[in-house]
Structure 1
């Protein structure tokens, strides 16, 4: 009987046990659901921390790579016979790169006038962080011009690499660049015929040194009016060697490059269209510059195409074929020019801009053509009219034409990587 009563009590207690068990299971289920957001949050935090860690490591390695590159640049530059100037000295010389000392600005960044504690005036080319000219072009310019010494080449006094700063220190050339005079209606009157003729001869001698007389042959690749500086006596100095190419030995064959850089209007057709350049490419640029000096206007730029619907070279060729060469000369020269010298310059300029590079003379022959009354000049062939091609015309119409009128007070500042 007692056993029976215990069994009944057990039956009464069983539902409570089952209920408690169910409640326990439900409690555990609720607890598990509450833990899921916590686990997810922890995983998100871990993933984010891991990503930040990898980003930090990547940036750290990148900064170290930049530092190593700067150190390597300094090591390379220190091997050259060129002073490495202290950044604080340049800051003091330019009055902390003040706007009042700013001479001009190009694709690379600004250029400033400065004065060292000795009183020596300098021009500081400052490569900006956003410049299209990179470390390679900077080092190329330093290594190139440090090896060159000629009265018709601008003199590099030193350089400076400080953190992100890259600076080139040149002699200060007080009269600035040729384009500031040549294409200015007021200043051009200061360039009488004797001055222009001397400038032409000086540029030719500078190129002869680069092509033939220096220990290493150089092709400038960006010869133009803004890259010719005028000293206090109006003597020309070729500047800006950021795009220059040097060659060792006697190899003077044409070189093909996959990247065309320079300035439209001065580029030889084989270079602008096919990427092939040689010393004859510089001869073409010299011919364009010579004709600009005679005429006082730019060649195939957006400006000239808009004003005349033609290029300066094609205009010169038409006048040549119609025996009206005298009409090509800048009217301001009428009272000061020598007809014989002007005629020889015009003829030589057309020989330099012939389409076939093999028909162009070398620069040493060009100089003889300019100074010798006894030398018979061959008849030129028609210059290339590539500047009027659809590709080039579309490019000129689409760009900011204001850049064609920019004048630099010190042409050492102008370098453009890519056509402009």
Structure 2
């Protein structure tokens, strides 16, 4: 638009000037070219001595040598004027064209600068931004936008997703250990979204973890979208998952009785936050030992919210049956009925894992499996048998009254009828007195704990 205004303000006046110049030359030329036809000055005769008509005589006079000479000088002046005007027009048009090219290059340079700036901004979301969010996780709101991490940064931090950096494996991919600048460590979950289910889980987990904040729920540091692959970046939990600690090479040797009770208490607090403090309430739907992560001090945090459901939004028609065998509540498995009591059932199974060190489902024969609930239930209510099924790692290291109390809570949580199960808040209140003060409970340990009769 500015260029058009410039053309109109410069080119149009020049055209008018050229037109007036041509008209002035024409006006100066007319008196010299026209003579009166009615009064010829010379009479010309033919070979037959016949008189010539006045019109012919005037015509001859117009093209006489003198007039031709005058016309020659006039044409020369007009030609020079036209050349000058043409050169001026060419110069002006060339100048305007150069200005137009300059403006285009300037706009292109600005656009490239903005693109580089945006790229630098994304590239700048490296360690400084990530660690800043992590360090202030308890002071800032999680309702803001989550950081988008550059894919090349994740490649470098995971050594191109090397197998040696794999921390665990899930349904849609692996979790990798990532080492960013200044030795800042994080966990990167890689999801290959070949279908709608994986994409839906990715979006749900990023959305929920971006909105909720609790010290017993894993912290979201950022995410990345690269072609058909999705990445979620979490804080790194140095001691891995509860499943690996209990059923891995160490077989729970690092988990004392009090640490196990602390893990149960942390998990109950996270569930209470989801069920009672979130508005609307959130049902995790996939609570299991592999989704309970432990930091360097064995503080537990719930992770993996891809299957989580907002309470009240689910019904039998719009929700797909999901979960892990051994943790799924009977009413949800058989009838599709999902409530917060479904999470309570899964918590009861985890409590049994902590007590006995057994997996939630174990193979009896190649074609037959047995759940920990079915196997343990008859012995949990028998005080003479209960100490014999406790994990050998912690056997005879706890007060028997505390053991019986934890077993009673577990029995209530895994009741087949959901209405018989307690609220997670009631479970939390039952566990607090069993955890030492320095581990987050109210128990004051004055002497070494050993087996005592009830």
Q: Same fold (TM over 0.5)?
A: yes
Superposed CA offset, 1:304-359 (max 9, x none): 67699643212222114544222231122124222122111110000001111111
Distance 2:239 2:196 in 1: 27
Give 1:224 shift.
0.5
Report the counterpart of residue 204 of structure 2 in structure 1.
140
Give 1:256 shift.
3.0
Q: Is 2:151 the partner of 1:91?
A: no
Report the counterpart of residue 12 of structure 1 in structure 2.
none
Q: 1:293 to 1:227 in 2, by over 3 A?
A: same
Determine which structure has more spread, i.e. the larger CA radius of gyration.
2
- The partner residue of 2:303 within 239, 244, 261 is 239
Distance 2:184 2:246 in 1: 28
Give 1:103 shift.
2.0
- The partner residue of 2:320 within 239, 254, 259 is 259
Matches within 5 A, 1:13-28: none
Distance 2:365 2:330 in 1: 17
Distance 1:345 1:254 in 2: 32
- The partner residue of 2:164 within 92, 100, 103 is 100
3-state SS in 2 of match to 1:195: helix
3-state SS in 2 of match to 1:124: strand
Q: Is 2:249 the partner of 1:213?
A: no
Q: Is 2:427 the partner of 1:366?
A: yes
Report the counterpart of residue 153 of structure 1 in structure 2.
217
Which ranges of structure 1 fall in alignment gaps of 5 or more residues?
Answer: 1-78, 374-420
- The partner residue of 1:291 within 352, 355, 365 is 352
Distance 1:145 1:288 in 2: 25
Q: Is 2:177 the partner of 1:113?
A: yes
Q: Is 2:257 the partner of 1:193?
A: yes
Q: Is 2:375 the partner of 1:315?
A: yes
Q: 1:326 to 1:132 in 2, by over 3 A?
A: farther
3-state SS in 1 of match to 2:177: strand
Give 1:217 shift.
1.3
User: What RMSD, in angstroms, separates the aligned Cα atoms of the two structures?
Assistant: 2.5
Distance 1:196 1:276 in 2: 30
Q: 1:321 to 1:148 in 2, by over 3 A?
A: same
Q: 1:196 to 1:132 in 2, by over 3 A?
A: farther
Matches within 5 A, 1:166-185: 166-184=230-248
Q: 1:98 to 1:346 in 2, by over 3 A?
A: same
Distance 1:129 1:96 in 2: 19
Contact 1:123-1:171 within 8 A present in 2 as well? yes
Superposed CA offset, 1:54-91 (max 9, x none): xxxxxxxxxxxxxxxxxxxxxxxxx9521111112112
Contact 1:102-1:113 within 8 A present in 2 as well? yes
Report the counterpart of residue 414 of structure 1 in structure 2.
none
Contact 2:261-2:431 within 8 A present in 1 as well? no
Which ranges of structure 2 fall in alignment gaps of 5 or more residues?
Answer: 1-142, 435-454
Kindly tell me the number of residue pairs found equivalent between the two proteins.
Answer: 291
Contact 2:192-2:198 within 8 A present in 1 as well? no
Matches within 5 A, 1:45-84: 80-84=144-148
Q: 1:230 to 1:288 in 2, by over 3 A?
A: same
